[in-house]
């Protein structure tokens, strides 16, 4: 099988490793080489560019091969799920607890492939599954995409808990409420609740919020310790998807009239609200039913 | 309010701190002083003994005060939930992501109080809630108790992932599947699915599986690195509830004909199955729908 991975970042490189383990003939296209890749010969094009570059990247592809979306985010222009931008070819999404550096170290992982085209999802599962990279099929494309976008925003908040030194009990409570607000958005968008309890939901959320080198968690930590978002990105040296996604997700929640208090809090801090004020206000709310 | 905390361990001491923050007049009864505590004067008796000592501890109580169960486990004699052993007085359960050392350090936490007696749960919420210890009411007593018992068994498995060096992607996948099997048992016992996605379920599970000093996680890590369960307990120096609970939970699952593959794996390793064999067998199963 011939595959092109579009995107020169850590996950693009990690996923190329996954494909080579399945005996794919893999070429990687970066921003500089995106127009020169052998798309016409490819059986699969995996796209792992940042969400803000996704719309443009599609305009460079040629041929008819299916696109497998590795990017986790929403289209910042329209607020839509990224798969809705792919109109000229079959499309699927891959998402799950897949920290790139562990994949490159050949540590085991599990993931989900979702598509409205069941035959495509099943064929991708066969093409990508290996003993160290377990691929499960999920038919809920909407839910899988929303999970991948929203979990980075919750991870910013969890990083802030780390940065403020509030401890793991508080972080666990925040993850729990974070998954509740993710699932509430999903329900409004027609997603399946089970997806949020699965690998692309809970699974990816916990690793993103807890793994020490997760970029979104780390950015939240640095911002809580006093950096601006731009300074945090400069320190991390990579794209931090949650910073792009947070306002897009909040606007989507407003349009659908879904309450997402953690996402609102993240956006408030990114817009300059002092984080200590926000944390203090959350502590004095009256207790209620869970 | 006058409260007695029964149990001389870390969580008994931590919970006494919580009660004092709410201006309770608190006395702590240890194994040595359990017969001398002022139960007749108490408005509340919080029991935080190990699950294997719970049945006996009840026989030492006097007076009519409600019992709030802090112990997380099942009765090893009958396999029943601990609240079913309390027949002579009102009973409620408290459970959530509440690592004791963080509570003692005055870090914020959230928890759940559950009882079949709604008025009792509401009055306990009022009596225990404070800005740093947020108490939510949950009406699903069965689910809350099963969560508290089962999460320690999943944490043993997650500790084994750490001990084998399999990485955080694998641990996140294991947590996800662990919560699925916990909820499957809950369904068979008449619990509410929402409880497993809440603070006592997901919230407590993630902190137990990820916090570095969690006893159950640590025991799993040590056993995976070659210690026997007894050696691991000696190294940790405290009761490890998951070791008591694992076979009791497995037997309950067998009686109810519920599949709990992670719990089965934990019991197999505790009975001497080499852990590398078990891990390898999980990797080669055919991929399926999520």
Mean pLDDT of chain B: 95
Phi, psi angles (nearest 5°) of residue B110 = -125, 150
Phi-psi region of A198 (alpha: psi -120 to 50; beta: other; left: phi over 0): beta
pLDDT confidence of residue A279 = 74
pLDDT at position A233: 98
User: In A, residues 68-97, which contact B (CB 8 Å cutoff)?
Assistant: 96-97
User: Are the C-beta atoms of A155 and A242 separated by less than 8 Å?
Assistant: yes
pLDDT in tens, B193-249: 999 999 999 999 999 999 998 999 999 999 999 999 999 999 999 999 999 999 999
The pLDDT score that the predictor gives to residue A277 is 81
Confidence at residue B279, expressed as pLDDT on a 0 to 100 scale: 74
Are residues B182 and B89 in contact, defined by beta-carbon separation less than 8 angstroms?
A: no
Q: What is the DSSP letter of A202?
A: I
* Whether A111 contacts A84, CB under 8 Å: no
Residue in A102, A129, A171 nearest the CB of B168 = A102
- Name the residue of chain A whose CA is nearest to B211's CA: A168
CB contact under 8 A, A108 and B172: no
Average pLDDT on B58-62 reads 97
Any B CB within 8 A of A2 CB: no
Whether the predicted pLDDT of A256 surpasses 70? yes
Confidence of residue B251 (pLDDT cuts 50, 70, 90): very high
Task: Please say if the pLDDT value at position B284 is more than 80.
Answer: no
Sequence-distant (≥ 6) Cβ neighbours of residue A256 within 8 angstroms: A185, A188, A189
Has residue A285 got a pLDDT over 70? no
- List of chain B residues whose C-beta atoms are within 8 Å of the C-beta of residue A96: 173
Write out chain B residues lying below 8 Å of A112, CB-based.
290
pLDDT in tens, A164-173: 999 999 999 9
Q: Is A19 an interface residue toward B (CB < 8 Å)?
A: no
Q: Please state at what angle helix A241-256 crosses helix A215-224, rounded to 10 degrees.
A: 90
Residues 29-68 of chain A with CB under 8 A from chain B are none
Overall average pLDDT of the B65-71 stretch: 98
Contact B284 A166 (CB under 8 A): no
Interface check for B283 against chain A (CB to CB < 8 A): the answer is yes
Smallest Cβ distance to B170: which of A107, A137, A169? A107
8 Å CB contact between A166 and B108: yes
Q: Residue A276 has what pLDDT?
A: 85
Which chain A residue has its CA at the smallest distance from B98's CA? A169
Q: SS3 of A194, please? A: helix
Which stretch of DSSP H or E encloses residue B262? Answer: helix B261-270
A289 vs B105, B134, B137: nearest CB: B137
Q: Cβ of A143 under 8 Å from any chain B Cβ?
A: no
- pLDDT tier at B286, thresholds 50, 70, 90: low
Task: Check B203 against A175: CB less than 8 A apart.
Answer: yes
Mean pLDDT computed over A147-174: 97
Interface contact A172-B132, CB threshold 8 A: no
Alpha-carbon distance B62 to nearest alpha carbon in chain A (angstroms)? 31
Is there a contact between B283 and A170 if contact means CB atoms under 8 Å apart?
Answer: no
A259 phi and psi angles, rounded to 5 deg: -80, 125
Contact assessment for residue A39 and residue A65, using Cβ atoms and an 8 Å cutoff: yes
Nearest chain B residue to A128 by CA: give it: B287
B179 and chain A in contact, CB less than 8 A? yes
For A86-120, what is each residue's pLDDT tens digit? 999 999 999 999 999 999 999 999 999 999 999 99
Mean pLDDT of chain A: 95
- Chain A residues lying within 8 Å of B210, measured CB to CB: 168, 206, 210
pTM: 0.96
Alpha helix stretches (DSSP H) within chain A: 10-21, 51-58, 100-104, 118-128, 141-163, 168-189, 193-196, 204-210, 215-224, 229-236, 241-256, 261-270, 275-283
CA distance B267 to chain A (A): 23
| Residue of chain B nearest A125, judged by CA positions | B287
Give the per-residue pLDDT at B277.
81
In sign, the C-alpha dihedral spanning A165, A167, A170, A176 is: positive
Asked if B258 has any chain A CB less than 8 Å from its own CB, the reply is no
What's the gap in Å between the CA of A200 and the closest CA on chain B?
10
In A79-140, alpha helices (H): 100-104, 118-128
d(CA B94, CA B71): 8
């Amino acid at each position: 099988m011939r595959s092109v991975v579009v995107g020169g970042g850590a996950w693009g490189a990690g996923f190329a490793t996954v494909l080579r383990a399945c005996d794919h003939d893999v070429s990687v296209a970066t921003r500089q080489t995106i127009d020169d890749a052998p798309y016409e010969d490819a059986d699969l094009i995996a796209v792992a560019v940042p969400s803000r570059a996704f719309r443009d990247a599609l305009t460079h592809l040629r041929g008819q091969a299916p696109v497998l979306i590795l990017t986790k985010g929403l289209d910042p222009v329209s607020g839509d799920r990224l798969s809705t931008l792919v109109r000229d070819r079959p499309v699927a999404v891959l998402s799950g607890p897949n920290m790139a550096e562990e994949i490159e170290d050949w540590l085991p992982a599990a993931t989900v492939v979702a598509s409205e085209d069941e035959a495509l999802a099943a064929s991708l599962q066969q093409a990508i599954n290996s003993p160290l990279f377990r691929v499960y099929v999920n038919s809920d494309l909407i839910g899988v995409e929303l999970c991948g976008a929203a979990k980075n925003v919750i991870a910013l908040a969890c990083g802030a808990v780390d940065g403020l030194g509030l401890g793991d009990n508080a972080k666990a409570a925040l993850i729990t409420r974070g998954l509740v607000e993710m699932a509430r958005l999903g329900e409004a968008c027609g997603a399946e609740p089970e997806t949020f309890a699965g690998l692309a939901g809970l699974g990816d959320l916990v690793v993103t919020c807890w793994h020490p080198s997760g970029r979104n968690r780390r950015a939240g930590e640095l911002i809580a310790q006093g950096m601006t978002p731009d300074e945090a990105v400069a320190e991390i040296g990579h794209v931090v998807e949650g910073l792009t996604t947070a306002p897009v997700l909040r606007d989507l929640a407003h349009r659908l009239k879904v309450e997402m208090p953690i996402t609102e809090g993240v956006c408030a801090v990114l817009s300059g609200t002092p984080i200590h004020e926000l944390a203090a206000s959350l502590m004095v709310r009256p207790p209620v039913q869970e």
